[in-house]
Amino acid sequence: MKKILTIVVSAGILSTAALQAQSYDFGDHSSQTLVSKAWAAQDAKNDAAVLAYTGKCIEMFQPQALEQQKALSAPLTVKEEIFKQWALNDVGTALFIRGQALERQGRTAEAIADYKMLSEQLPYAQCWDVQGWFWKPADAASGRMKALQFDAM
Amino acid sequence: MRVFFLMASLAATTFLTSVHAAGASSKVEIRKTTDGGFELVRNGAPFFINGAGGTGFLENLVQAGGNSIRTWGIEQLESAGGEKNLLDRAHELGLAVSVGLWVQHERHGFSYNDPAAVQKQRDEIRAAVRKYKNHPAVLVWGLGNEMEGPTSDGSDPRIWKELEQLARIIKAEDPNHPVMTVIASAAATKVRGIQQYYPSIDILGVNSYGGAMGVGSTLQSLGWDKPFALTEFGPLGHWEVPKTSWGAPIEPTSRDKAASYYVTKTKVVEDGRGKCVGTYVFLWGQKQEVTSTWYGMFLKTGEKLPTVDAMTMAWTGKWPANRSPKILKIESPLANAVVSRSQEYPVQATVEDREGDNLRFDWEVRAETTEQSVGGDAESEPPAVPGCLASGSGDAVVVRTPSKPGAYRLFVTVRDGKGGASADNLAFQVQ
C-alpha cells in the first residue's frame, strides 16, 4: 500500500512537472544536463525550474535507473564503475534535489514521497561532489525524511 | 572543534592524592559483539553512551535520559562549582564521565619539537590519571580533543606518535578504562595517521556536524576496525551553512536544529553498524560562538531549547512533560537584506506551544560579532543595540534599523514561563 501511495504522489508531481516543462530549455535532454540545470536552478533559488528539470529527468530515465539499481547487489566503489550507472545516479540525485525544492515550498508529503522512493528504490545512487568524493543521495534523503517526520511529531 | 575554554593549566593535576567517591572503582571494557560490532561493558553491564558535552544542567540531562557527560580538560573536574567536584556530582546523578585530558595544540603556542614541554605534558597526564582513575564515575579517558588542529589535514605524524606515548602512560597507570582520542571530522589522512602511529587507541572519537550521520560509513571505508564514538554533533556548523551577500553565516532555525539533533543521533547509530559505542551531543549548556544561540542547548537564563526536547525523544522515545515552544517561522523583509539606517520593518513570528502556555517574546538587535574564533575558542557576545524596537509587542513588532552602518542580527526569544524556550535570529546589513 505504501508503495502504491508513493507512486501516486510521485505521478502527481510528474504531471505538474510535465505541465511546467514547455517553458524550460532541456538542452540535449540527457540526464546529466537535466541534473546540472536542476542544481543551477537550485542555486538561483528558482524552485519552479528545479521542479521542471528534475521532473523531466525522473520522467525520462526512471525505468533505466530502476534497472541499473536492480543489477547491483552492493554500492559500487570504483569511480569509473560508479559513473557507468548514469541513470541511477542522475535520477537519484534528481529525486533528492526535487525533494528539497518541495520542502522549501512547504509540500512536505510530496517531499517525503520523493525521499522515500529514493531511499527504498534507488539506494545505490551516488553523486560526485566536486570536492572529490561521492555521496549517496539515498542516505541524505533518509535523513531528511526522518527530519520531516520528527518535525511533524 | 568546539572547545570553549582552556588549553590552560593542567596544573590542578599535580596533586598527588587520589580522588574517589564512595563506591567501588569502575571497570570499563570493550567487548566484541556477535554481529561484528563492539560494546562498552561498564561494571559488567553493556553501556551505550547517551551523552552530552558540558558540565552544567546535569539534572536536566538525567531527566532527558542522558547517561554520560564529556569534559575536555582535567581542571573542569575541580571547577564545577558547589561543594562537590564534578565527578562526585555526576556519580550521585548516575552519570558516567568521559574524562578529558587536554593535549596541547600547536596553534596555541605549544611545540611538539620541545622535549621539555612534551615531557611536562606527559607528567601532567600521568598525574591526572593517577589522581582520578579510581573514581567510580570515570567511563573512559578522553585523551585530547582536536589536538591535530581543527583545520589541519592531519598529515603531521608528530601528534599521533605523541598520543601513542601518552596512551601507553595512561594504560600503565590505569588498565581499567579505555583510551579515546577525539579528532575533528573523519578525514582520511587523520584516520590513516592514527592507524599507522597510534595503535594503543581504544576508541576513536569524531567531532562532526554536517557530516555526522555518515561518520560510521566513512570510517568503515577507511578501514577503521575499532569502536568509534560521535563525540560532538549538533546543528550545521557556521562554516557549513549558506551565507548572506555580506558573508554572515545564516543560522539554522531552532526548528531545523531540533530535527537535526534527533536525526543525527538515530542515523549515526544505524550507520555505524554496531561499531558506534555512543554519542555526545554539543553543547549541553550555553556559549557565544558566532551567535549566543548557535550551539548551546540552553539559554543564558537557563531555559531549555527545543534541541533538549529532541534529545529527550532520541534517548527515551518520549517527549518531556513540558515541551519548548516551537518557532514555525519568522517573516520580515529584513531577513538577509541590505537595508538603510534608521528605517522601520515589520517582523512577524509564528509560534506554537503544545501545552498552550502563555508565551513571552523578547526582541533584540545585536551587532554581528567581529571575533573570528578558531576551533570554538571563547568569544564575547556583542551588546544589544538600544532603541531598535520601534513598536509592537509579542509575536509582531516593528524593528528600527540601527543608525550606524554594519552587520546585525535580530534575535527573537520565546519563553513559556515553565523552563522552555526557543530562539531564532535573522541577519541584516545596514548601509
Q: How far is B213 from chain A (nearest CA, A)?
A: 8
A150 and B259: CB-CB below 8 Å? Answer: yes
CATH of the domain at B85: 3.20.20.80
Question: What's the distance, CA B141 to chain centroid?
Answer: 17
Whose CA is closest to B13, among B117, B181, B125, B175? B125
Write out the DSSP string of B28-47.
EEEEE-TTS-EEEEETTEEE
Judge whether B187 lies within some domain: yes
- Same domain, residue pair B116 and B247: yes
Examine the domain organization and report whether B278 and B336 are in the same domain.
Answer: no
pLDDT averaged over consecutive 10-residue blocks of chain B (431 residues)?
42 48 83 94 97 94 98 83 80 96 91 95 97 96 90 83 98 98 92 96 94 88 94 91 95 96 92 93 93 95 98 97 97 97 97 97 95 73 94 96 97 98 98 95
Domain count across chain B = 2
Alpha helices in A22-136 (DSSP H): 31-43, 47-70, 79-84, 86-104, 108-121
User: Residue B310 and residue A153: Cβ atoms within 8 Å?
Assistant: no
Cα–Cα distance list, B87 to A34, B70, B367 (Å):
58, 11, 39
Long-range contacts of B162-168 (CB under 8 A, 24+ apart): B162/B103, B162/B112, B162/B118, B163/B103, B163/B194, B163/B197, B163/B198, B163/B201, B164/B197, B164/B198, B164/B199, B164/B200, B165/B122, B166/B101, B166/B103, B166/B121, B166/B122, B166/B125, B167/B143, B167/B198, B167/B200, B167/B201, B168/B200
* Interchain proximity B267–A150, CB inside 8 Å: no
Phi, psi of A48 (to 5 degrees): -65, -40
Which residues in chain A touch residue B153, judged by CB atoms under 8 angstroms apart? none
CATH classification of the domain holding B380? 2.60.40.10
Q: Give residues with Cβ within 8 angstroms of B29, minimum separation 6.
A: B40, B41, B178
Nearest to B262 among A77, A135, A150 (CB): A150
d(CA B118, nearest CA chain A) in Å: 36
pLDDT at B75: 87
State the pLDDT at residue A75: 86
Q: For residues B143 and B201, state if they share a domain.
A: yes
pLDDT in tens, B191-201: 999 999 999 99
Is B4 part of any domain?
Answer: no
Residue B1 is assigned to a structural domain of this protein: no
Give me the phi and psi of B259, to 5 degrees please: -65, -40
Domain match, B168 and B40 both: yes
The answer to whether residues B257 and B247 touch, using CB atoms and an 8 Å cutoff, is no
Please judge whether B259 and A147 are an interchain contact, meaning their C-beta atoms are less than 8 angstroms apart.
Answer: yes
Q: Which residues of chain B make contact with A135, given a CB cutoff of 8 A?
A: 214
Task: Give DSSP secondary structure letters for B122-188.
Answer: HHHHHHHHHHHTT-TTEEEEEEEESTT-TT--S--HHHHHHHHHHHHHHHHH-TTS-EEEEEES--H
Torsion-angle region of residue B9: left (phi > 0), alpha (psi -120 to 50) or beta?
beta
Run of H or E including B121: helix B115-132
pLDDT value, residue B375: 64
Question: Quick one: CA torsion of B147, B151, B154, B158, rounded to 10 degrees?
Answer: -50
**Which pLDDT belongs to residue A21?**
47
Nearest residue on chain A to B313, alpha-carbon basis:
A150
* B258 to B234, B270, B306: CA distances (angstroms): 9, 19, 6
pLDDT at B13: 40
Q: How far apart are CA B234 and CA B258, in angstroms?
A: 9
CA pair distance B260, A31, nearest whole angstrom? 31
Please give the residue of chain A at the shortest CA–CA distance from B254: A151
Confidence (pLDDT) at B347: 98
- Look up residue B236 and give its amino acid: L
B430: its cell numbers: 545596514
How far apart (Å, rounded) are the C-alpha atoms in residues B164 and B201? 7
Nearest CA in chain A to B318: A153
Q: What is the pLDDT of residue B239?
A: 87
Which domain range does residue B344 map to? Answer: 326-430
Residue where one domain finishes, among candidates B250, B285, B316: B316
Contact check, Cβ <8 Å, B313/A153 = yes
Q: Which of B170, B85, B83, B80 is nearest to B133 (CA)?
A: B170
d(CA B225, CA B37): 9
Contacts of B230 (CB under 8 A, 6+ apart): B205, B206, B207, B208, B212, B215, B264, B268, B276, B278, B279, B280
- Enter the ipTM: 0.76
Asked if residue B376 and residue B268 are part of one domain, the reply reads no
> What distance in Å separates residue B301's CA from the closest CA in chain A?
26
- Tens digit of pLDDT for each residue in A15-35? 455 545 458 999 999 999 999
CB contact under 8 A, B310 and A143: no
* CA angle at B280 for the pair A108 and B133, rounded to the nearest 5°: 170
Residue B82 grid coordinates: 558547589
Dist CA B98 CA B207 (whole Å) = 14
Distance from CA of A19 to the nearest CA of B (A): 31
Q: List Cβ neighbours of B406 (8 Å cut-off, separation of 6 or more).
A: B367, B368, B429, B430
CB contact under 8 A, A142 and B267: yes
Q: B119 by DSSP, 3-state: which?
A: helix
Q: Quote the pLDDT of residue B372.
A: 72
Q: Which residue of A has its CA nearest to B187?
A: A133
Minimum CA–CA partner of A147 in chain B: B259
Whether B227 and B354 share a structural domain: no
- Backbone dihedral region for residue B146 (phi beyond 0: left; psi -120 to 50: alpha; all else: beta): left
For the record, the C-alpha cell of A65 comes out as 535507473
- Whether residue B354 lies inside any domain: the answer is yes
Give the chain A residue whose CA is nearest to the CA of B327.
A151
Q: B373 and B273 share a domain?
A: no
Contact (CB, 8 A) for B33 and B39: yes
Cβ of B263 within 8 Å of Cβ of A147? The answer is: yes
Whether residue A139 and residue B214 make contact (CB cut-off 8 A), yes or no, is yes
Out of B213, B217, B221, name the one closest to residue A143 (CB): B213
Kindly state whether residue B158 falls inside one of the protein's structural domains: yes
Same domain, yes or no: B161 and B288: yes
Chain B residues bordering chain A (beta-carbon distance below 8 Å): 213-214, 217, 221, 255-256, 258-260, 262-263, 266-267, 271, 310, 313, 319
> Where do runs of H (alpha helix) occur along B207-319?
215-221, 254-271, 306-316
For residue A147, give the nearest of B214, B221, B260 by CB distance.
Answer: B260
- Min CA distance, B2 vs chain A (Å)? 24
Based on the fold, state whether residues B207 and B339 are members of the same structural domain: no
Residue B165 sits in the same domain as residue B21: yes
Indicate if B300 and B332 belong to the same structural domain. no
Question: Which pLDDT score is estimated for B22?
Answer: 58
Per CB-CB distance under 8 Å, the chain A contacts of B255 are 151
How far is Cα B212 from Cα B361, in angstroms, rounded to an integer? 33
Regarding whether B217 and B258 lie in a shared domain, the answer is yes
Neighbours of A15 (CB within 10 A): 12
Task: Retrieve residue A89's grid coordinates.
Answer: 545516479
In a domain, B6, yes or no: no
Is the Cα torsion angle B335, B372, B208, B26 positive or negative in sign? negative
Give the model's pLDDT for residue A3. Answer: 42
Q: How many CB atoms lie within 10 A of CB B270?
A: 13
Q: Which of B257, B287, B316 is the last residue of a domain?
A: B316
- The distance of A11 to chain B (nearest Cα, Å) reads 28
The C-alpha cell of A55 is what?
521532473
Residues of A within 8 A of B263 (CB-CB) are: 143, 146-147, 150
Strand order in the sheet with B406-415: B337-339, B421-430, B406-415, B360-367
- Decide if B267 and A147 are in contact by the 8 Å CB cutoff: no
- What pLDDT score does B204 carry? 98
Strands (E), B49-110: 49-53, 68-70, 96-101
- pLDDT at res. B153: 75
Residue B255 Cα, gap to closest chain A Cα (Å): 7
In a domain, B239, yes or no: yes
Q: Do B263 and A143 touch (CB under 8 A)?
A: yes
Which of B160, B168, B179 lies closest to B229 in space, CA to CA?
B179
AA identity, residue B4: F
Per-residue pLDDT of chain A (153 residues; tens, 9 = 90+): 444 444 444 545 544 555 454 589 999 999 999 999 999 999 998 999 999 999 999 999 999 999 999 999 988 888 899 999 999 999 999 999 999 999 999 999 999 999 999 999 999 999 998 777 788 999 899 999 999 999 988
Q: What is the pLDDT of residue B103?
A: 95
> From the list A77, A142, A151, which residue is nearest B259 (CB)?
A151
Q: End-to-end CA distance of chain A, in Å?
A: 22
With contacts defined as CB-CB under 8 Å, which chain A residues touch B266?
146
CB contact under 8 A, A146 and B258: no
Kindly state whether residue B3 falls inside one of the protein's structural domains: no
| Burial classification of residue B44, based on how many CB atoms lie within 10 Å of its CB (0-12 exposed, 13-18 middle, 19 or more buried) | exposed
Burial of A135 (0-12, 13-18, 19+ CB in 10 A): middle
